[in-house]
Amino acid sequence: MKKDYLNSIPLEGFAQIIPRRRSIIERAPATMPQYEYNANVLAKNLHPSVQHVIVTDIVQLPNAKLYTLSPDAEKGTDKLAYFQPGQYISLDLKISGSRLTRPYSLCSLPSVKEYQIVVKDMKNGFASEYINRNFEIGTRVDISEPSGFFSYEPLRDAGHIVGIAGGSGIAPFVSMAKAIAEGLLDADMTLLYGCKTEEEILFKEELEELQKKCDRIKVVHVLSDETKEGYYHGFISKELIREFMQEDSSVFVCGSQGMYDYIRTQTEEMALPRRRVRFDAYGEYRLSERDEGQFVKGKQFELRVLTNDGETHVISARSDESILVAIERAGIKAPSKCRSGECGWCRTRLISGEVYTPVLTEHRRQYDQVAGYLHACCSFPLSDCTVTINCE
């Protein structure tokens, strides 16, 4: 049978291919032709490794600033990468000897001409305080391509979204609302927006305008520290979520870590399937009571960092800060984007030592967990450690 099969193969055909290929190779030019394939050009436009931008407008909002970032043609960025409403960019910053990144959700309508981000005034917010004090019109900064999975996907999500936002977590929903109003996003959205007081509401007029302009958008304000006519009072509880849910709504949540803990319990008590509830990446994970007994308090460990260029850095790492923060604090530029375990950009190899990874940030592939890879942004040292990183 095998022999019959072999006999059936037209081997004379193969014999002709080889000399034909040889002659093509011999006739080929000595240098590679510089073709620009359309697919490559598109991929480069959608996923640039870095984008150079310049601050072209700053608007003061309640306890926050709205920045407009435009392409910096002088540094080689003519247009920005297109994005999906709900995605974020990561800013590349140098602050007192540290090289670090910070993710910010885009709040503008998808465009290649400009992006907008909101930076909240945060007490002890290392990067946000730096940005709001130092950024001015003309400031140049490098940013990542748009990233993240917090965007509407018609094949996966329901036609009605319940958006739950807290404070500056309103940013991705503003982008979504604008896209719905412009017909770029085919969905209805009810936005439950929680703030402490009326004064703290961001984009109040803009959201009202969008609501008036498009009947697919509804905004419900919820104030926790104030009782006022026209506003709901309290927290965004399961009762409130239920009031605005339709039979098959998808729930999108963006806010602080504390708010996520609360909303998670509410949606679990509502027995909503996990696929119907989506949480945005919230940036730096902060250890709390939930992690009690699983990390070491108030210790310094030795961290050996082996970089891809052959260097070994011996630095100190605090037990309550991530490996990524320790590396950045030492002025070493490590790759990172979301800072919450989701994107895998900070994936690194643990050669020796032990770390703690909070369960809420555990997005590693199973193979990585077994093979000793970690996401440096959400791994906290439990002992002296050695890791490898690809420096940028």
Can you give the length of the chain in residues? 392
Subset of 118-157 contacting ligand FES (CB under 6 A)? none
Strand, coil or helix: 11: helix
In the chain, which ranges are E strands? 51-61, 64-71, 88-95, 98-105, 115-120, 140-143, 160-166, 188-195, 217-223, 232-233, 250-254, 277-279, 300-307, 312-318, 347-352, 355-356, 373-375, 380-381, 385-389
In the complex, what is the shortest distance from the CB of residue 375 to ligand FES, in angstroms, rounded to a whole number? Answer: 4
Does residue 375 interact with ligand FES by CB under 6 A?
yes
Does residue 99 interact with ligand FES by CB under 6 A?
no
In the complex, what is the shortest distance from the CB of residue 71 to ligand FES, in angstroms, rounded to a whole number? Answer: 24
In the complex, what is the shortest distance from the CB of residue 339 to ligand FES, in angstroms, rounded to a whole number? Answer: 5
- For ligand FES, the closer CB: 85 or 103: 103
Binder among 343, 355, 360, 389 for ligand FES (CB under 6 A): 343
CA 171 – CA 174 distance, rounded (Å) = 5
HSE at residue 313, side-chain half, CA atoms within 13 A, is: 21
Place of tokens 């699983």: 294
Binder among 232, 345, 373, 380 for ligand FES (CB under 6 A): 345
**Which of the ranges 205-213, 245-253, 291-299, 342-350 carries the binding residues for ligand FES, by CB under 6 A?**
342-350
Phi, psi of 39 (to 5 degrees): -65, -40
- For ligand FES, the closer CB: 149 or 295: 149
Q: 341: which DSSP letter? A: S
Nearest to 146 by CA among 69, 217, 80, 196: 80
**Which of the ranges 14-22, 257-265, 293-301, 341-349 carries the binding residues for ligand FES, by CB under 6 A?**
341-349
Does residue 109 interact with ligand FES by CB under 6 A?
no
Binder among 377, 385, 387, 389 for ligand FES (CB under 6 A): 377
Footprint of ligand FES on this chain (CB under 6 A)?
A: 336-339, 341-346, 375, 377
